[in-house]
Amino acid sequence: MRKFVLFAAVAFVAGAAVFWIVTAPAVVSAHALPAYTPNLANGETVFNAGGCASCHASAGQPRTVLGGGLALHSPFGTFYAPNISPDPADGIGKWSEADFVNAVIEGTSPDGTHYFPSFPYGSYRNARLDDARDLFAYLKTLPPVSSRDKNHELTFPFYIRRLVGGWKWLFLNQEAFKPDPSQSAQWNRGAYLVNGWGHCAECHSPRNMLGGLVRAQRFAGGPNPEGRGWVPNITQKGLKDWSEKDLAYFLKTGELPDGDTAGGSMVAVIKNTSQLSDEDRAAMAAYLKSLPPVDGPPRPKKS
């Protein structure tokens, strides 16, 4: 009995140590960031491609007033988008560049804790480091907003941030985006925008019971993560009748090939993609049209 108790105690301590190591928040050291002159024009492009205004713009304010507050509903509770304006007290005005890079790419806060994956760093981690640095420089040019962040309303055990480390270990892609040399420059630009800053898979893919994307059905649509409605399949299963021009025009205007217009949360997305260049929208369309057809989860029948 003593041996069993001792063995159990050793196993528990060893397991706890492994858990603590595996779930440790990752960070990029400031020393790993070489000297760099930010490109503000590119920072604005990244801001629009990343959809920052969709979640972080203050209600009823211009899209560059980033006081946050949007409620994001999920099966785990309600998340609230934070203030990312350059306000030194309530926003990110006191953040260093390394703080921002860690937040966007690693999902790690300046105080060394995990951000919840309602912040789509799972896609943003595909981003190039220079793009993240340009975005940070652009955000610092926007108006500061005095607006305290709202506390998330989550159920047990989902509010335990250390557990997010285990979620990251299970579901995060550990490698940044790599261009495919067999594809064109346009296709690679589109793949980068769709899979990285555009974070299209975050809504257009079904999720498992832990909130991880179902990789085999990436872009195949499914239940709205917020619990209302259905997100369409954007592989060729869903877009087979769309041309590249149709897709690029939709990303600019929100108008569908049949003359209808985008609704729901896609309205906010179009406000962002409409700010991109024609070339970037065409690149995104070229990549999306190249996706093979994938069956998504069955859609519930309307009663």
276 — phi, psi (to 5°)?
A: -75, 165
Which amino acid is present at 97? E
9 — phi, psi (to 5°)?
A: -65, -45
DSSP 55-101: HHSPTTS-TT------EEEETTEEEEPPP-SS-TTTSSTT--HHHHH
117-129: pLDDT as tens digits = 999 999 999 999 9
| Res 12 pLDDT > 60 | no
Whole-number percent of the chain with pLDDT over 70: 92
Q: CA 205 to CA 212: how far, in whole Å?
A: 10
250 sits in which H/E element: helix 244-253
Q: How confident is the model at residue 24 (pLDDT cuts 50, 70, 90)?
A: confident
User: Could you state, in order of their start, the residue ranges of all structural domains in the chain?
Assistant: 29-171, 185-290
Determine contact, residues 147/68, Cβ cutoff 8 Å: yes
Stretch 222-240: mean pLDDT: 87
Q: How confident is the model at residue 17 (pLDDT cuts 50, 70, 90)?
A: low
Give pTM, 2 decimals: 0.91
138-154: pLDDT as tens digits = 999 999 999 899 999 99
Q: CA 190 to CA 222: how far, in whole Å?
A: 23
Determine contact, residues 169/90, Cβ cutoff 8 Å: no
